[in-house]
A and B are shown apart, each in its own frame.
Chain A
């Protein structure tokens, strides 16, 4: 697979249609990215490169800082938990989508895609209203019903951040799962039942493993989005709630320490890439069957 893509690229036949996008990415993504990352290794003060002496000092500073690791750990578990809950909610929904009639299918699809038509920022603010203090929707209802006497503290916590992440990123898990589940061969489930397996066993031994491509796609997308999102932690996590992505934003835009910001951005990018790679490799191990040559 990789070899054939490379061949096409080198031979140039597959390249030309991709050229405009490629050029665009080089100029507006790869080059600024390279510049930003380079900022992590040369001294910069007040937004100006002082000299071009390469130094690992900033990288070393960050990696030996306990605070960085604590912040990184928070980014990581927020990413993992958001992905996990997205999967937990998305899979049954995507599975149900393949069992119900056409009307319900359309309804599920519309409800899944509709939030994407509104700004994620607006939706995040909406969570502020829902989860907020005394006058937040949930607390107001609970207190009116007399179920609680003091407002519950939900906002500005891991809980709020993960709730926001899951809601914002759910469609990116649901869509690949629907794709892979609705194209599955139902005869295989009948075959499993015919061989004596229960419905539960059939689900775990046949349906689930065969939806692996969709699981890997959804998981990597949602993790990458959650791990690097800096708006949701800022708004729903509150002032003291920092993740690596939030720190990148603060160092570059607020504190104007570009050296540290660039190093953090680099670490965020590399670790995200590593995680995605890991999931993909693990997925590929479970999907070795997809490589078997079809006749």
Chain B
């Protein structure tokens, strides 16, 4: 089911937590609301679910305006951060809860619960209480409880947070398979960029209650539109245009002063020099990350990060004078805004 979110604003007293948020999500798409804590991503999700009512703007699910509808009339599946499984019901009873509300008869309930448990590979745990399950199992129960009702939309609020790193990735891949299998429109909220890159068709990066950029993971990484997005996803050198213009490969680009230029560390080239280059610096720190070498370079009062593949490169010592350049002009992406705080 396609989702249209139009110009959502939300105030909590004097706090303006959502500012003109708009999203247009296609049927069957999986998107992620990504941002640091306090950026409003959970509030936006709760507005879509109906747990919050926006101060202004509209939420349209599959052509129907649901902005004023309570959550129990939206037909949306929601997975809470800590799963919110009913502790006084077994796994099977948790799954059957929504079916009972819809007055499904006993045989239908049994069949659907069975099917949903099968989907998340938890058939053997039907009669257990949620407290006796591991975090990953509880999460799968929460997803199954939402999916058993065949919602047209699935919303997940930081649903992978409580899992340890290894299990998290497994569950993310698992979730992606499941939602693609049942073809459900899915919105996830997370502050974890890896998670966003793993599970999303498109990512909406949010900061300060606004959506900075809404695009595919590749676009977000290669063509960030704001300095915040570039900095939040992956590592980035965010440089004033005048500074970046000194890079030989860049030519005349960046003549406008007000812009910032983003250069990913892996696009920066490093080579030893005598110091007569337009943009030179000294290596302040060097370490091997495995397949590449990571340098921290002091150049004209700035710290730059470079990631150089080790295939044709001998690691340089700290203190070496180096000349900087980019491997191609497209690697320099002009963005708006500035990065706040330590990059």
| A positions within 8 Å CB-CB of B | 185, 187-188, 190-198, 201, 205-206, 209-210, 212, 287, 289-290, 292-295
Contact = CB atoms under 8 A, between A and B. Distances in A.
Given A190-B71, A194-B71, A197-B72, A205 B132 contact: no
A282 to B, nearest CB: 15
B128 A191 contact: no
A295 B133 contact: yes
Contact of B98 (A195, A198, A289, A294): A195
A198 B128 contact: no
A82 to B, nearest CB: 28
A117 B87 CA distance: 38
B37 interface: no
Interface in B107-158: 128-135, 145, 149
Given A205-B97, A210-B88, A289-B89, A194 B132 contact: no
A184 to B, nearest CB: 10
Contacts of B88: 209-210, 212, 287, 289
B86 interface: yes
Interface in B47-100: 49-51, 70-73, 75-78, 80, 82, 84-89, 97-98
A290 B134 CA distance: 17
B102 interface: yes
Given A190-B84, A194-B77, 20 more contacts: A187-B82, A190-B71, A190-B80, A193-B51, A194-B51, A194-B76, A194-B78, A195-B97, A195-B101, A195-B145, A196-B72, A196-B75, A196-B98, A210-B88, A212-B88, A289-B88, A290-B87, A294-B131, A294-B132, A295-B132
Contacts of B102: 196
A157 to B, nearest CB: 41
Nearest to B98: A195
Contact of B131 (A196, A197, A201, A292): A292
A292 to B, nearest CB: 3
Q: Which of A188, A191, A206 has the most CB of B within 10 A?
A: A191
Contacts of A194: 49-51, 71-72, 76-78
A293 B85 CA distance: 15
A289 B87 contact: yes
Contacts of A212: 88
B84 A185 contact: yes
B84 A289 contact: no
A198 B84 CA distance: 17
A289 B129 contact: yes
A49 to B, nearest CB: 54
30 contacts: A187-B82, A187-B84, A188-B86, A190-B51, A190-B71, A190-B80, A191-B80, A191-B84, A191-B85, A191-B86, A192-B86, A192-B97, A193-B51, A193-B72, A194-B49, A194-B72, A194-B77, A194-B78, A195-B98, A195-B145, A195-B149, A196-B98, A205-B97, A210-B87, A210-B88, A287-B88, A289-B129, A292-B87, A294-B131, A295-B131
Contacts of B89: 289
Contacts of A294: 131-132
A292 B101 contact: no
Nearest to B77: A194
Given A190-B71, A191-B86, A292 B129 contact: yes
A192 B88 CA distance: 13
A292 B128 contact: yes
A206 B101 CA distance: 13
B28 to A, nearest CB: 21
Interface string B287-321: 00000000000000000000000000000000000
A197 B129 contact: no
Contacts of B132: 292-295
A191 B72 contact: no
Interface in B227-248: none
A206 B128 CA distance: 18
Contacts of B129: 289, 292
